[in-house]
Structure 1
Amino acid sequence: MDSLLTFFGLAVMAFLFGGAGLAWYSFSQLKQANRRIDALNQAVTDLKQLLAKSDATQQNAASAPLQPVDEAPASGSPVESALELATESELRPPKEGRDSLACKAPNAVVPVQVATHSSSDQRASDAANTSEKKDRRAVNNKDKPPHPAPSHTPRPSLTERFEAFIANNGLLWIGGAILALGGVFLAKYSVEAGLVSIATRLVFGGVFAAALVLLAEYLYRKQGGQSGVLTTCAALASGGVITGFALVLVTFTYYQFISSALAFAGLAFISLLATALALRYGPLLAVIGIIGAYAVPALVNTDSNNLFALLMYVNLVSCAAMWVAQKVQKDWLWWQSFTGHFLWLAVSIAVGESGDIWLIFATMVVGLYLYIVAGVLGWRFSESNGQALAVKVLLMPRKEQLAIILSVMGLVAFYALHGFAPSLIWVCALLAVLCAWLPLRHSAFDAWPFVALAFCGYVIMMYPLPASGATLSVFAGAFGFTQFAAWLCFGYGWFMMKRYPKRLSYCLFSAVSSLCVFGLSYVISPLAISAQLYPLWSGHLLVMAAAAIWLGQQGLSAYGKAALWVLANTHLALVLSMWLNASTLTLALCGQLVLLAYYQKSYQLAFPSWLTKIGLSLVLLRVTLAPFTPEYSQENVLSVHWSLVVLPLMLAFIFAAYRLQTNRALKNWLEGALMHLLALFVTLETSYYLIGDYPSLQHLSFKEMAALSMNWLVLGTVYWWRYRISQRDLYLIAGSFLAGASGILHVAILWQYNPWFSAIDVGPYLLFNWVSVLWLVPLVMLSVALKYGLIPARLQLDIRFIYGLIALFCFLFVNATVRTVFQQQFIMVQLTTSQAELYTYSAVWLLIAASLVVLGQRLAQSPLYQSGFAILLVVILKAFLVDMAHLDGLYRAISFIGLGLSLVGLGWLFTRVRSH
C-alpha cells in the first residue's frame, strides 16, 4: 500500500511539473501570437500606403498622353502585391518589424495599366489634390536614411530566459529528466515492492533503459535527424543511460549479483556507449558518458591493485573522449577529458611503486599526444609550421604549456616520493628527445626545450654526489651527466638558431642553457671537490666560449651573433666566479648589462626591455642583500673590503650601460639603479667604517640601529625621488617601507637605547659622532624632501607632522651637541649641568631664533618667521627663569643689560631686513 501511495505521489508531482511547464509554454505561444498580430496590423497599414501610391501613379499616368500599353505584368494589381507583402510580413520573424516593411514596401509597387474608362480618370482627377501632399511626404521619408538600430541589446532577464528555455525544447529536457528519475525510482521500487523476484525487477529496469535508448534511435531514424527531434532523442537516450548506470551499480553494490570485473565492464560499456551516442544526438550524452567513464574506477573497487589495467582503461577512455570532442567541436569536452586523465595520472603517481614509472610515463606521453600534439600537428603528424611566434605568444598561458608542465610536475613528484633511480636518467633523455623533436615540426612548441632544461636541472640536483673520502670520477655520475647535458644543449641551441634564424627563443636558449647546467652543478657541488672539479668545468666553459665566438662569425643573424657573444661572456664570468670570490660574480653579471647595451647599439637590435629589467633587478637584489650574507662579511678584493671595490665598479658599469642605451624607459631604470647603488655605497661604507662590520638584524646594538635608521631613511628618500620621476608604485612602496622602518628604529632607540637617560657613548668628537648620525642626517633628509617635494602626495601626510619631525630632530641635535661640548661622550640628564652650559643653550637657541626670523623675512615664509619668534620667546623665558635665577647684585644687572641690548640689536636687525 505504501508503495502504491508513493507511486501515486510521484505521478501527481509529474502532472504538476508537466502542467506548470505547459502553462509556461502556452504563455510563450500567446506572446508569439500577439507579436504576429502586431505584424499583421503593420502590414495592413503598409497596404493602405500602397493603395495611396497606386492612386497617385494612376493620376500621373492619366495626365500623360495615351500610348499603346503592353500586357500587364504577372505580378498582378497593387492590391495583390500588398496582400503578398502582408503574407510575407506575417511569416517573417517578428523582430524585423516596421523597419523591414518600410524598406520593402516601395519596391513592391508594380507598373499599373492606364485605364481607359472614364470612372478611373475621374477618380484619379479627384484624388490628385488630396494625395499630392501625402506623396511628397512619403518621398521625403523614403529619401531619409532609417534610424540605425541600437548596437547594444539589453540582456534578457531570468524570467525571459526561462520562457525561452521552455519555448525552445525545454519541456523535452524536463521530460528526459523525469524519465531518468522514473528509471531510478523504478529501480528503487523494484527493491522495495517485493511483488516479483529481484532478478525480474532488475531485468525490467534494464529493459526500460534499453527501451529509452531504442526509442531515441527509432525517432532519429524516422524523422531524419531534424534539430527538434535531436533534442528529444538526446533527452530519451540520456534517461536510458542514467537508468542503466544506476541499475548496474545497484546490482553490484546492493545485491552483489555480479562480480566487480563484470560491473566494471558494464559501467565502462554504458559510459562508452553514451560517448558514442553523442555523435548522433549531441554533446550532452558525451558529458554523461565521459564523467561516467572516468568515475567507473572510483565506483567499482576490484581489489586487484592492478595499475596497468587502470592506466590502460584511462588511456582508452581518453582516446574515445578526444575522438568525440573533435567530432562535436566542443572545447569544454576537451577540458573535461583533460581533467579526468590527469587526475587519474596523479592518483597513479601517489599509489604507484618505483617500478611503475614506465606505465606512468607512457600515460603522460599518451596524454601529451591526445591533448596537445594531435590538436597542433594532427592525428598523423601531417601539420607543420616553421614561422616564428612572438615571445609574448610563447609565454602567455596556453593548453600546450599546461599539459607539459603538469607532466613534468608529475615526474618530479614521483621521484620526490621514491627517491633517485637509474630510470630517472632515461626518463629525462626521452623527455628531452620529445621536447627537442616537436619544435622541428611546429613553432608552437618553442617553449618546450626550456621545460626539458628545467627537468635536466632537477636530475642534476637529485643525482647522488660521491661520499666524503670516496674516489672522485669527474667523468661519471652527476658530473658526467652534467657535461653530456651541457654539450647537448649547446649543440641543439646552435643547430636550431642556424636553421630557424627568426625564432628568437633559440637565441635565448643558446645563451643560457649550457650556463645554467654548469652553474647549477657549480652551486651544489661541495667545496671539498672544488680542486678537482673547477679546472675541468673551467676548461669546458672556456672551450664553449671560444666555439661561440667562432660560430658567431659563420653567417648567423644579428640576434644569433649577440646570443653567442652573451654566451661567451657569461661563461667567462662563471669561470672568474669559480676562481675568484663571490663578489666578482655580482660584478660579472653587472658587466653583462653593459655588453647587452653595446650589442643592442652596435648591431641595431631590439632586445625585449624586460630582459634588461630582470637582469638589472637581480643584480641590484644580489648586491643589496650581500651585506647580510655571511660569505660577504669578511671578503676582500685586492686586499680591500669588497664593497669599496665592487660597488664603484658597478656604478661605472651601469653608467656605461646608461650612456649606450637608447630606450628612454630603460634609461629611467638605469638612472634609478645608479641612485640606488650610490645610496647603498654611502650607507654600507658608513656602516662598515662606523661600526667595523655590517649590522646583524638578529641582535641590533645602539650603533647598528643608528646606522640602519640613517641608511634606510636615505634609501627611502632616493626611492621617493625615483617615484616622482617614473610614477611607478614599486618605488612608492619601497620608499615608504624604508622610511617607516627608519621611524620604527628611531622609536626603538628612544625606548631602549635613549642616550639622554642611558650611559650610551655617543663619541668624543664634535659633530663627527653618533649624535649627527642619529639626528642630524634625518633632519637634513626631511628638510631636503620637504623643500623639493619628494614626499609623495599619495601618502596624505599632514605638513604639520613633517614640520614637527624636523623641529624634534633639530631640538635633539642642537641640545645634544651643546651637551657633548661640556660632557664629552655622554649626554645623560643625570649629569651635573654647569652655569656656562645653561648660558650656551640660551646663546645657541637665540642665534637659531634670529636666523629663522631673518630667513623667514627674506623668503617670505610665515612658518619660519613664526617659529623664530616662538623660539625667541622661549629663550627669553628661560633666561629670566633659569639662567638669571642664581645671580645677584652687579652680575644680575649686567646680565639684564646684556640681554636687553641683544634684544634691541635683534629688533634693529629685523627692521633693516624688513625695510630691504
Structure 2
Amino acid sequence: MEYVLLVLMALAIPLLGLVGFFRTVSLGRQILLLEARLARAERALAEAGAAGERTAAATEREEQPEQAAATLAEEEQEEVAAAEPQGAAGPPAAVAAGTRLPPRSLEETLGTRWAVWLGGLALALGGLFLVRYSIEQNLFGPGARIAAGGLFAAALLAVGEYLRRSERGLGPAAAVIPTAHAPSVLTAAGTISAFGVVYAAHALYGMIGPAIGFTLMGAIALATLAAAALHGPALASLGLVGAFAVPLLVDSHNPEPWPVVLYLIAVAAAGYAQARLRRWIWIARATALGAVLWGLAFLGLRGPDLAAMVAHVLVQTALAAFFLALEPYRGAEDADAAPDPLALGALAAFAALAGLGLQDPELGSWRLVLGGGAFLVQFGTALRVAPAAGGALFAAAVAGAMLWGWPVLAEAAAEGPTVLPGAPSRPPMPTALWLFLLSGTLCGGALAALGWARLMRSAALPRLAAALYAAAATVGPLALMTLAWHRIDGFDRSIPFALAAGGLGLAFVVAARTFRTGEETACWASLVGLEGFAAGALGALALGLTMALEKGSLTAALALSALGAAWVTTQARLGLLRYAIGVLGVVVAARLGWNTALIGDDIGSLPVLNWLLWAYGVPALAFALASVLLRRQRDDQVVALTEALALALAALLVFFEIRHALTGRIDSPRTDHLEMGLQVVSSLLFGLVTVKLEAFRRSAVLRIGSYVFGGLALAGSLAGLVAMENPLFSRRDEVIGGAVFNSLLLAYLMPALAAFWLGRAARGRRPAWFVGAAVALGAALQLLWTVLEIRRLFQGSDINFLHHTSEAELYTYTAAFLLMGLVLLAYGVLRGSRPVRLVSGAYILLAIGKAFLVDMSGLEGPLRALSFIGLGAALVGIGLVYQKWIFGRPPSSPAAPDAPSPAE
C-alpha cells in the first residue's frame, strides 16, 4: 500500500504541474486571439472612413494590387501550413486575407514561446531528477522505478495527444505560435522519457536483454518519426537522432552487424519518406548523414561481416537515390532539369563511402559486388533523371576507386619491398589481371556508350546537365585507362596502352561525328556532345602520346596536339575543345613545374642542333601558333596560357642551350662568369622582345613577362656577375680569350648594352622605375666591365684582387673613368639625353673620388701630378661645356631709356 501511494504521489506532482502549465498557455492564446481581433476591427474602421473620400477611378486602380497581395498572402499561408504540424494548421480565409499582425512584444515572446520551450525542458528534467532522487534515497526498487518512468512517459504522450486534438478548435490562435507547439514539446518530452526508461531497464538494471531493448528503442524511435507527421519537424529530429543512436545504446557481448543493417534500412526509409512527404529537406540531409556515419563505422568490419558492410553501403545508396532523386523527379521533363544539391550531395557522400570501402585489401570477392553495385546505382540514377546527372561522374569515381584499391598478386604482397633495395622499376601486378582489365573496360565502356546515348536521345537537356553527361562519357574512360596504366606499367612507356588510347580517341571521333551530322546548333545536348567528344578525342590522343613517347617527346606531342586542336577550332566553333587546349596547357605547365629539365642526359654533342630543339623549341613554336589561331576567335585565359607557355618554353630553350654549349650537359653543377653573363643577356633580350611586341598587341602576359625577365636579369647580375661568379673574387674563374676580345666582353659589356637597349625601348611603355632600373643596371655592368678589362690588361687571365696592383694600373683606372665620362657627356650633349649625361656625371664623380682618395696616397712622382692635372683640365672643360651648350642662356640687353639714338 505504501508503494502504491508513493507511485500516485510521484505521478500527481507532474500532472498538477501539467494542468497549471497548459491552463496558462490556453489563457495566453485567448488573450492573443482577442488582441488580434481588436486590431483588425480598428484597422477596418479606419479604412472604411478613408474609403468614402476616394474616387471611383482610384478604387479601380487599386483593386489589382490588393488582389495580388491577397493571393500572395494565401500562398504564403499554404506554404506555412504545409511545413507546420497538423494541429497548428493555417488560419481560415478571413485571417489570411486580413492585415498583418503587429510585431510581437517581449511579453508575448516570453509568454507564448519561451514558456512552452522551457516548460517542456523542465518536464523532461523533472522526470530525470525524480528518478535520480528515488535512486539516491532508495525509495523504490528497480521495477517500481521503471514502472513509474513508463507511466510518466505515457502521461506526457497522452496529454500531448489530447492537446493536439483539442487544438483544432482554436482557429487563428494556432497560427500565432507555430514554432512553440505545446503538444509537440510534450510529446518530445514523453519520447525522451520513454527512451530513458528502456535504456535504464537494459543498461542499468539488466531487466531486459539486448534483443528486446534494441527492439523497444527502435520501435520508440520509429513511432516518434511517424508522430512527427502530426507534431512537426522538431519531433522528427528527435526521433531521427534517437533512431540512429539506438544501436549505440544497446550493450551486447556478441554484437551482430546484420540486425543493425536491417534496422538502419527501416530508419533511413522512414526518415526519407517523412522528409519527402512533408518536404523537410534538413531531415533528408540528416538521414543521409546518419547512414554515411554508420557506414564509416562498418568499414572496420572484418571476415564474414564484410558482407554486412557491403549491404549497408549499397542499400543506403539505393534508398538515397530513390527518395532524393528518382521518386521526386519521376516523370519530370529534361527541359526543366536543374541540378538538385540535396540529391547530388547525398550521392557524392555515398560514392565516397563506397570508395573508402573498396580500399580494404580483405574485401575479396565482395569487391566486385560493392564496386559494381555502387557504380550501377550511381550511373543508373544519373541516366534516369537529369537533375542527378552529376551521379555519372560519381560512378566514374567509384570505378576508379575500385581499380585503385585492387589487390596485388599474392606473391608480390608476401615479398614486400625488401627483395631489392630501392624502388622497384614496375609496381606489383594486380591479381586476376584479366578481371581487373575487364572491370575497367566494362565501366569505361558503359560510361562512354550510355553517356553518348543519353545525349543523343535527350534533345531538351539543359546545358549543365548535358555537360555533366559529356564529361562522364569522356573524362571517365580516360581516367580509368590512366589508372589501369599506372597499376600495370607504373606510368612507364607502354605501346599496348597507347594503342588502346588511340582506339578510344577514334571512338570519340566517331561519336562526335554523329552529333555533327545532326542539328548541332538546335539543342544543347547535340552541341555539348559534339564539343565534349571532340575534346575527349584530343585527350585520348594526348594520353596515347604520353604512353608511347619518351626522351622529352611528351611535351612536344602535347603542344602539337594543342596546335592541331586550335586549328580545328578555326574550322568549327567548338568551345569545349578550346578549353581542352587549356587543359593540355595546364598539363604542360605542371610538367615544367615538376621537372624543368624535360629531357635526360643524352641530348647530343652539337651545341644547337640537339634534342633540346625538339623538347623545348617545337613546343614553344606550337603554343605560339596555337595562341595566334585562338586569338582570332577571342582573347581569353586560354590564349594567355598558350602565350605564357610559348614564352616560358622559348626562354628555357635558350637557357639550356647556353648551358649545354658551355658545359656539355644541362645539369652540370659548375658555372662561370661567361655563362652567367650570357644568361643575363638572354633575359634582357627576352624582356626587350616582350616590350617591343606589346607595341603591336597589348597583352598582360607580355607585360608581366617583361617584369619577370627584367627581375631575372637583375638577380643574375647582382648574385652572379657582381658577387659569386665575378673573376675579381673567384680563384677558379679566369678570363677566357685575349686582351680585348675575351669572355669579359660577352659576360659584362653585352649585358650592359642590352640593359641600355631595354631601358630605351621601355621609355613611355613601362613605369619610370623600370626604365631607371634598366639604365642603372647597364651603367653598373659597363663600369664593372671597364674595371675588369683594365685588370685583365695588367694582370693577365687571373685577375683576382689579391694580386698586387701597380701604379700604372691605378692611374689607368682614373684615366678610364674620366675618359668614359667625357665620351658619355659628349654623346649626351649631342643627343640631348639627360640620363646619359647623368651616367657620365657618375663616372666623373668616381674619377674625382679615386683621384683624391687613392691616387693622392697610392701614386708618386709624375703619375700623381699627371693624374691631378688631367683631372683638373677635364673638369674645367666640363664646366665650360655645361655653361655654353647645356645651361647657357643668351644675355639679356635691355635698352637704356636715356641712350641716344644713332640718328642723333
Question: TM range, normalised to the smaller chain?
Answer: 0.7 to 0.9
| Structure 2 Cα separation of the partners of residues 384 and 325 of structure 1 | 20
Partner of residue 233, structure 2: 283
Residue 63 (structure 2) pairs with residue 105 (structure 1): no
Partner of residue 85, structure 2: none
| Structure 2 Cα separation of the partners of residues 235 and 347 of structure 1 | 32
Q: Secondary structure at the match of 2:364?
A: coil
Structure 1 residues 110, 597: CA separation in 2 closer, same or farther (over 3 Å shift)? closer
Partner of residue 361, structure 1: 310
Q: Secondary structure at the match of 1:667?
A: helix
Partner of residue 377, structure 1: 326
| Structure 1 Cα separation of the partners of residues 756 and 316 of structure 2 | 62
Identity fraction in percent = 23
Q: How does 1:855-894 map to 2 (within 5 A)?
A: 865-866=837-838, 868-883=840-855, 894=866
Q: Deviations over 1:313-354 (max 9, x none)?
A: 2222111222222233222222222221111110111x2115
Stretches of structure 1 that go unaligned for 5 or more consecutive residues are 37-87, 112-141, 146-158
Maintained 8 Å contact 2:445/2:477: yes
Amino acid at match of 1:614: V
| Structure 2 Cα separation of the partners of residues 909 and 110 of structure 1 | 95
Maintained 8 Å contact 1:719/1:732: no
| Structure 2 Cα separation of the partners of residues 894 and 448 of structure 1 | 91
| Structure 1 Cα separation of the partners of residues 764 and 262 of structure 2 | 67
| Structure 2 Cα separation of the partners of residues 332 and 471 of structure 1 | 46
| Structure 2 Cα separation of the partners of residues 746 and 537 of structure 1 | 50
Residue 787 (structure 2) pairs with residue 838 (structure 1): no
Q: CA deviation at 1:301?
A: 2.2
Partner of residue 828, structure 1: 800
Partner of residue 182, structure 2: 232
Structure 1 residues 759, 486: CA separation in 2 closer, same or farther (over 3 Å shift)? same
Q: Deviations over 1:217-265 (max 9, x none)?
A: 1122233275259812112111211222223333333333332333323
Amino acid at match of 1:676: A
Q: TM-score, normalised by structure 1?
A: 0.72
Q: How does 1:736-747 map to 2 (within 5 A)?
A: 739=711, 743=715
Maintained 8 Å contact 2:378/2:392: yes
Q: CA deviation at 1:438?
A: 2.3
| Structure 2 Cα separation of the partners of residues 91 and 734 of structure 1 | 74
Residue 205 (structure 2) pairs with residue 255 (structure 1): yes
Q: CA deviation at 1:212?
A: 0.7
Structure 1 residues 574, 622: CA separation in 2 closer, same or farther (over 3 Å shift)? same
Which of 40, 53, 59 is matched with 1:92 structurally?
40
Q: CA deviation at 1:414?
A: 2.7
Q: Secondary structure at the match of 1:332?
A: helix
Q: CA deviation at 1:725?
A: 6.1
Residue 594 (structure 2) pairs with residue 632 (structure 1): no
Q: CA deviation at 1:178?
A: 1.1
Residue 567 (structure 2) pairs with residue 598 (structure 1): yes
| Structure 2 Cα separation of the partners of residues 713 and 667 of structure 1 | 23
Partner of residue 249, structure 2: 299
Which of 437, 449, 452 is matched with 2:380 structurally?
437
Q: How does 1:76-155 map to 2 (within 5 A)?
A: 90-92=38-40, 104-108=48-52
Q: Deviations over 1:168-215 (max 9, x none)?
A: 433122211111111111111221232333322321121111101001
Q: CA deviation at 1:784?
A: 4.0
Residue 617 (structure 2) pairs with residue 617 (structure 1): no
Structure 1 residues 682, 375: CA separation in 2 closer, same or farther (over 3 Å shift)? same
Between stretches 854-863 and 331-340, larger displacement belongs to 854-863
What is the RMSD computed on CA atoms of the aligned residues?
Answer: 5.3
Partner of residue 664, structure 1: 635
| Structure 2 Cα separation of the partners of residues 548 and 590 of structure 1 | 20
Q: TM-score, normalised by structure 2?
A: 0.73
Structure 1 residues 588, 421: CA separation in 2 closer, same or farther (over 3 Å shift)? farther
Structure 1 residues 90, 579: CA separation in 2 closer, same or farther (over 3 Å shift)? closer
Residue 419 (structure 2) pairs with residue 456 (structure 1): no
Q: CA deviation at 1:761?
A: 0.8
Structure 1 residues 260, 598: CA separation in 2 closer, same or farther (over 3 Å shift)? same
Maintained 8 Å contact 1:772/1:813: no
Q: CA deviation at 1:735?
A: 6.9
Structure 1 residues 604, 22: CA separation in 2 closer, same or farther (over 3 Å shift)? same
Amino acid at match of 1:634: D
Partner of residue 517, structure 1: 480
Q: Secondary structure at the match of 1:92?
A: helix
Partner of residue 192, structure 1: 136
Q: Secondary structure at the match of 2:846?
A: helix
| Structure 2 Cα separation of the partners of residues 514 and 167 of structure 1 | 63
| Structure 1 Cα separation of the partners of residues 253 and 51 of structure 2 | 79
Partner of residue 446, structure 1: 389
Partner of residue 89, structure 2: none
Structure 1 residues 481, 382: CA separation in 2 closer, same or farther (over 3 Å shift)? closer
| Structure 1 Cα separation of the partners of residues 853 and 206 of structure 2 | 106
Q: CA deviation at 1:418?
A: 2.8
Residue 629 (structure 2) pairs with residue 685 (structure 1): no
Q: CA deviation at 1:415?
A: 3.7
Partner of residue 279, structure 2: 329
Q: CA deviation at 1:763?
A: 4.3
Q: CA deviation at 1:507?
A: 3.9
Q: Secondary structure at the match of 1:615?
A: helix
Which of 173, 180, 183 is matched with 2:127 structurally?
183
Q: Deviations over 1:102-132 (max 9, x none)?
A: 7653324699xxxxxxxxxxxxxxxxxxxxx
Maintained 8 Å contact 2:427/2:490: no
Which of 149, 155, 160 is matched with 1:205 structurally?
149
Partner of residue 172, structure 1: 116
Amino acid at match of 2:349: L
Amino acid at match of 1:521: A
Q: Deviations over 1:53-97 (max 9, x none)?
A: xxxxxxxxxxxxxxxxxxxxxxxxxxxxxxxxxxx9943299x7x
Partner of residue 72, structure 1: none
Structure 1 residues 538, 817: CA separation in 2 closer, same or farther (over 3 Å shift)? same
Residue 857 (structure 2) pairs with residue 914 (structure 1): no
Q: CA deviation at 1:296?
A: 1.9
| Structure 2 Cα separation of the partners of residues 348 and 731 of structure 1 | 57
Q: CA deviation at 1:792?
A: 9.8
Q: CA deviation at 1:293?
A: 1.5
| Structure 2 Cα separation of the partners of residues 341 and 779 of structure 1 | 72
| Structure 1 Cα separation of the partners of residues 432 and 31 of structure 2 | 88
Partner of residue 386, structure 1: 334
| Structure 2 Cα separation of the partners of residues 746 and 711 of structure 1 | 13
Residue 450 (structure 2) pairs with residue 492 (structure 1): yes
Amino acid at match of 1:220: R
Amino acid at match of 1:914: I
Q: How does 1:724-763 map to 2 (within 5 A)?
A: 739=711, 743=715, 755-761=727-733, 763=735
Maintained 8 Å contact 1:676/1:715: no
Structure 1 residues 675, 255: CA separation in 2 closer, same or farther (over 3 Å shift)? same
| Structure 2 Cα separation of the partners of residues 472 and 196 of structure 1 | 66
Q: Secondary structure at the match of 1:220?
A: helix
Maintained 8 Å contact 2:851/2:868: no
